[in-house]
Amino acid sequence: MIKLGEMQELEVVKKVDFGVYLKSADDVKGEDKVLLPLKQVPEKTNIGDRINVFIYRDSNDRIIATVKKPRIVIGEIDYLKVVQMTRIGAFLNWGLEKDLFLPFKEQVGDIKLNGEYLVGLYIDKSQRLCATMNLFKVLRTDSPYKVNDMVKATVFSLKRGLGAMVAVDGKYLGLIHEGEILKPLHPGQIVEVRVSHIKEDGKLDLSLKDAPRLQIDKDGEKIVSIIVKNGGFLPVNDDSSPESIKEVLGISKSSFKKAAGRLMKRNVIEMTGKGIRLIDDDKKNGNRNSQRAKQPARYGSARQDRKK
């Protein structure tokens, strides 16, 4: 089956003076054919050869093939430039001879000549390819990702009380929940996010934070780095206000307590009534030696008891 708006490999079934006719592999009788114009036909093309083409409608509304791949195909999004404005919509340059139509009803916000806008591709009721800025209707939900995969996403819509709607790798629909957004985002911004959950319908829940354990480790590295820069001591501890911790470390009090706890267990820092400080190597070695000193004593007494 020949698919409008997609790149596909088709077979040459007939050569004519003005080009070649192509069909899909599953069209046994060759009843559904499309023309690839002569100027698009690769040299030395013969009957039976397979050619990778894009299918769209030309200026005369005829289905036609081209070997050129446009800026977007069905299921993808990209920024396209407005090259003409009309009362019923705008026309966009997408890399083919015929510009892509963006209907007025598919526009979001103010559209200006020579402006570039993030759009997707869809097939309208008349079986024509058109652009839309309503990306919910064109982004896919069959992503190959797994939970905790790191991906790149483009913000395309911000909804109060919900979060940021994004396009993952320009193809898949995702949401960064409002509670995950620590800094302001804006449409068009590209962010690196983690897949935190995959819904039953395939939509992606995304997080700007790393997985919990990784986040604690990263927060710990940040704490140690800031302590070192501050001469080995910071005037914050468990009793400090969330505002003070945020100002000094740039993380929440909850994140600080979790990360500091891990650092203390690893004997990297100690917490006092005045703040936190790095534990120097001598003190670390002293702690280790004192622990070792206790172990041989117990072992030695047990060995002597056996001798008796």
pLDDT value, residue 208: 82
Q: Which residues contact 245 (CB under 8 A, 6 or more apart)?
A: 236, 251, 252, 253, 256
Taking a C-beta distance cutoff of 8 angstroms, is the pair 206, 176 a contact? yes
Q: Tokens for 271, please give them.
A: 């917490």
Cα diameter, the chain: 109
Nearest by Cα to 7 from 75, 59, 60, 109: 75
Q: Tokens for 6, please give them.
A: 């997609």
pLDDT-derived band at 303, boundaries 50, 70, 90: very low
In this predicted structure, the answer to whether residue 3 has a pLDDT above a threshold of 90 is: yes
Q: Which residue has the higher pLDDT, 66 or 25?
A: 66
Nearest by Cα to 188 from 140, 119, 107: 119
pLDDT digits (tens, 9 = 90+) for 258-267: 888 888 888 8
> CB 264: neighbour CB atoms within 10 A?
14
What is the average pLDDT score of the chain? Answer: 86
Q: What mean pLDDT comes out for the span 201-224?
A: 77
CA distance 14 to 16: 7
Taking a C-beta distance cutoff of 8 angstroms, is the pair 237, 227 a contact? no
CA distance 269 to 227: 10
Lowest-confidence region among 60-69, 93-102, 183-192: 183-192
Q: Tokens for 102, please give them.
A: 């963006």
pTM over 0.85? The answer is no
Which segment, 162-176, 251-265, 270-284, is predicted with the most confidence on average?
A: 162-176
Domains (range + CATH), the chain: 7-66 (2.40.50.140), 77-137 (2.40.50.140), 150-207 (2.40.50.140), 212-281 (1.10.10.10)
CA distance 60 to 124: 17
pLDDT value, residue 207: 87
What proportion of the chain, given as a percentage, has pLDDT over 90? 53
Task: Kindly list the distances between the CA atom of residue 208 and the CA atoms of 55, 98, 118, 189, 222, in Å, as whole numbers in the listed order.
Answer: 38, 40, 22, 13, 17
CA distance 207 to 194: 5
pLDDT value, residue 36: 97
Q: What mean pLDDT comes out for the span 190-212?
A: 85
pLDDT value, residue 30: 65
CA distance 64 to 56: 6
pLDDT digits (tens, 9 = 90+) for 139-172: 999 999 999 898 999 999 898 888 999 999 989 9
Cross-strand partners of 10: 51
Give the residue carrying structure tokens 């007494």. 301
Nearest by Cα to 95 from 84, 85, 112, 80: 80
Burial of 77 (0-12, 13-18, 19+ CB in 10 A): buried
pLDDT value, residue 283: 52
Task: Kindly list the distances between the CA atom of residue 306 and the CA atoms of 31, 293, 298, in Å, as whole numbers in the listed order.
Answer: 95, 21, 13
Cite the DSSP H helix spans in the chain.
212-229, 242-249, 253-265, 281-307
pLDDT digits (tens, 9 = 90+) for 284-293: 445 544 444 4
